[in-house]
A and B are shown apart, each in its own frame.
Chain A
């Protein structure tokens, strides 16, 4: 019953039981080249960013500045993993970041890049 006062769907794991991403549930492969979806805008917030998809009208939040940097620079690196390394994400935190990116791909906030960088 998402509907945050606000009826747009909150898509990334912010609320128990709330997020139910639509779209094909394709496994996220961090070794592939990704980018922020072209119809997505990021709005800076004190804790990270609000993410909005103009196509499916989904709303999500990036809960850290590092995650914002990762999403913004995905397009500059050959893979998601390479982006995490470039953004100095500590090894121990990488699984959490991969999971966050997988959530974002499920809701089409990030998309596969056609031509490799």
Chain B
């Protein structure tokens, strides 16, 4: 593993003081972690953070997944965010859900709703200690389906109806805020309320296929300012995964943990058991180890060099000289990395405008880093999103292009 971070002198953990300063030095186990169970997915969302689509043949077996749960129980990781891919397409998904809950590891899983029929909704409503998040990236089918695929709005809202009807409580509607839906926040609230659910909005990052559409979909500066005001007004009714901490540099700090938690208080276990610093950082540079190796997840969390590096607070770089550094802490590591910006410089969406300057100053001869993994579907997918236009089919014969093709009228 190569060192990816600008060198940071090792510092001693302070005694007492603010929790956020303690978190920078890491915890003995993550507060919670994201666990992607499979790279398989029935959809082909244009902004998928993990470039999911096709299952990876090396994915953890049921027994291996159970062993990870046993380990999380021993480490007292009290809950995991399960995702994918689409986790519910794993045949042992419902078994693993019960297994985790039976071992004091609560589960919150994200789904596009494909498997949440009435029977599953009733099963979930009866289960304690499980949370469901239905992904929706538009408050209308038009906006949602352009990004997530034709029919995906209907699938998601059918799942929401089933959950509401089954008497499920506290389920979530999970929205990635983009340029297309940033103006729909009140509509999302109304839609969510109508199912008795809770709204969760998170930041769009240039990770996975998100990198391909980031220029086009990431919110504008004006939208970011509106979002900040909206969060100040509505924040305590809405979950954010604390993902908008870069907006804190606009003034008043947003409630929550204003800190990058990567490798410090959170991490990702991917479907093949690789442990990355965060779900948005699936790249070799942020790979800390694998749960299959000796010592398992615990050794990776507690002893990987990468994580030790991430637990040394940043002391250098342009951002530390900015008066807003204490609010935004330089923003999101993954957002910087996948847009080709230095990790100790500004976030590409820095609300003080330094990100735009840094983006403009990039050496365009150097392509931004790409993940070594891509599980995207290789062929067309039913209902494929149309944001990027319809997929072009090569003409079978010249005549398909024009009835006059090849006709020489001379």
Contacts and interface: CB of A to CB of B under 8 A. Distances in A.
Contacts of B254: 1
Contact of B78 (A3, A17, A41, A63): A41
Interface residues of B, number: 38
Contact of B13 (A4, A44, A46, A52): A46
B16 A63 contact: yes
A45 interface: yes
Interface stretch (A7-15, A75-83, A105-113): A7-15
Contact of B31 (A1, A57, A59): A59
Q: Is the interface of B mostly helix, strand, loop or mixed?
A: loop
Interface string A20-37: 100000000000000000
Contact of B79 (A8, A10, A16): A8
Contacts of B106: 54, 57
Given A5-B241, A5-B242, A45 B255 contact: no
Contact of A43 (B16, B19, B28, B236): B28
Interface string B288-305: 000000000000000000
Contacts of B241: 3-7
B266 A6 contact: yes
B238 interface: yes
Given A8-B32, A54-B104, A47 B22 contact: yes
Contacts of A15: 255-257
B16 A64 contact: yes
Interface in B200-245: 200, 231, 235-243
A50 B27 contact: yes
Place the interface of chain A in its size category.
20 to 34
Contacts of A63: 16, 19, 22
B31 A50 contact: yes
A3 B235 CA distance: 10
B318 to A, nearest CB: 25
B30 to A, nearest CB: 9
Contact of B256 (A4, A47, A50, A52): A4
A5 B261 contact: yes
A75 to B, nearest CB: 20
B240 A3 contact: yes
A44 B76 CA distance: 9
A3 B200 contact: yes
Nearest to B106: A57
B253 interface: yes
Q: Which of B19, B27, B104, B237 has the most chain A CB atoms inside 10 A of its CB?
A: B19
Nearest to A44: B28
A5 B265 contact: yes
A20 B238 CA distance: 13
Given A7-B200, A43-B78, 17 more contacts: A1-B235, A1-B254, A1-B255, A3-B241, A5-B257, A6-B241, A8-B31, A8-B32, A10-B256, A15-B256, A17-B236, A20-B236, A46-B27, A46-B28, A50-B31, A54-B129, A64-B16
11 contacts: A1-B242, A2-B255, A2-B256, A3-B241, A4-B256, A4-B261, A5-B242, A8-B31, A8-B79, A41-B104, A47-B13
